[in-house]
Structure formats: structure tokens, C-alpha cells
Chain A
């Protein structure tokens, strides 16, 4: 099984900050990497797929990069609506395993 590890687990930041979350895969997943945002009490929402492609309707302050085993999600200027938990997910193999999540909190 491919194991996904995110860092940090929790991140404290202020509105306007540039935020970066890292996701590492236990083996190469090429560019088959997605990022999801989940707000409390809500279902996850797809933000980015194929490592760097923005899902329709997602603000351009979100961006993704990386390939192989190391990936990043960047929020260029954190907005109040962005305080949430973010999950990476590989979809290179059948099981589509998720990272453990990164909670972005208000500093």
C-alpha cells in the first residue's frame, strides 16, 4: 500500500499569510495527487488534481506542485474562508489513500 504523510499536522497562520503544506508518498505516484479541503461539519471538496490542476471554481490563490513522492499545496494569501483541514490523496493505485490531514488554524 502507498502511504501518504502530510506535514505539518497543524499550522497556525494569519489572514494574508502565505501557507505551504507538504505531502510525501511512500513510493512514486507520478502526478496522480489531489488536494481536498474540509471545513468543520462539511464534506471534503476537491481543490487540485494531477498535482497542479485547479478544479473549476477554486480560487487562484490555491496552487499545487510536485511529482513523484513530494508535493506541496500553497495558499498565496490566506483568507478567512481558508481555515480548514486539508488532505492530500494519491490516486495512482486502486485504493486512493489519503494523508492524515493538515489543520490550518487562526493564529
Chain B
């Protein structure tokens, strides 16, 4: 079955750190760009970060630049998001998303999401 399964979310204090993981199965993970998209409670979708299929090229939205690091292990079929210096406004469901083969920013497979709550 083609799927993405996130893990690692939870409650963390402001200024703390958390690492999200996303396990991919059912497709050739190393052939696809991957992304993280988040959704604050009751809000819309916000693009967070992207990584190329080979892991060489990474990109971040300005609000997380310098605090979040995206990475991948193509041998373990796993995508990561290391989050540090977390802020209240980072509270959201974080979705792991697979890029379309032809269009890097078109999202054709989403994980179920993992909730990150930043609160004291």
C-alpha cells in the first residue's frame, strides 16, 4: 500500500525541540521530492519545508528558517523534520507530503499528520 506515516509529535515547551519522522512505503521513495505542510488548529494549510529526491536541495518558509531542518534517509525510506526553538505559533498538525513526479510542488500523497503542541 502506498502510504506515509508520521510520528514524533507531542507537547513541547516554548524554546524546546522535537523531531518528526515520516515513514514511506509502497513507492520508490528515493525518486520523489518530499515536503512538510502544516495546519494550525482551525486554520488553513501552510507550506513549511521541502527537500529534493537526493536530499541535496532544501528549502524553508521564512518563519522557520534557521530553526527547522529537513532531511531524509533514502535507505530507510524516511523523511525527517528537526524542529528547535519552537514557538507557540508552531502549534499545528504537521503533514508529510509526497511530490508529484513531474511537478515538485504538487502534492499527490499526504500522511495522516502528527500534532505538535507548543505550550508551557
List the interface of chain A (C-beta within 8 A of B): 32, 34, 36, 42-46, 49, 55, 87, 89, 91, 93-101
CA distance A89 to B105 in the complex (A): 9
B54 at the interface (CB under 8 A from A): no
Q: Do the beta carbons of A49 and B110 come within 8 Å of each other?
A: no
CA distance A34 to B102 in the complex (A): 14
Q: List 7 A-B contacts (CB under 8 A).
A: A43-B113, A46-B106, A49-B100, A91-B106, A94-B104, A96-B47, A99-B44
Kindly report which residue of chain B lies nearest to residue A101, judged by CB atoms.
B44
Interface size on B, residues (CB 8 A): 19
Q: Do the beta carbons of B44 and A34 come within 8 Å of each other?
A: no
* Complex interface: chain A residues within 8 A of B104 (CB): 91, 94
* Complex interface: chain B residues within 8 A of A43 (CB): 95, 110-113
Contact of B103 among A32, A55, A95 (CB under 8 A): A32
Q: Do the beta carbons of B100 and A98 come within 8 Å of each other?
A: no
Say how far A17's CB is from chain B's closest CB, in angstroms: 24
Write the B81-120 contact mask toward A (1 if CB under 8 angstroms, else 0). Answer: 0000000000000010000100111111011110000000
Grouping DSSP codes into helix (H, G, I), strand (E, B) and loop, the A interface class, with mixed when no group exceeds half, is loop
CA distance A46 to B98 in the complex (A): 11
Q: Do the beta carbons of B45 and A95 come within 8 Å of each other?
A: no
B73 at the interface (CB under 8 A from A): no
List the interface of chain B (C-beta within 8 A of A): 44-47, 50, 59, 61, 95, 100, 103-108, 110-113
Q: Do the beta carbons of A44 and B45 come within 8 Å of each other?
A: yes
Known interface pairs A32-B103, A91-B105; A98-B45 also in contact (CB < 8 Å) = yes
Q: Do the beta carbons of A87 and B106 come within 8 Å of each other?
A: no
Q: Do the beta carbons of B103 and A91 come within 8 Å of each other?
A: yes
Contact of B47 among A34, A44, A45, A98 (CB under 8 A): A98
Given contacts A91-B105, A94-B105, A98-B46, 6 further A-B contacts (CB under 8 A): A34-B106, A36-B107, A49-B106, A91-B104, A94-B50, A101-B45
CA distance A96 to B106 in the complex (A): 8
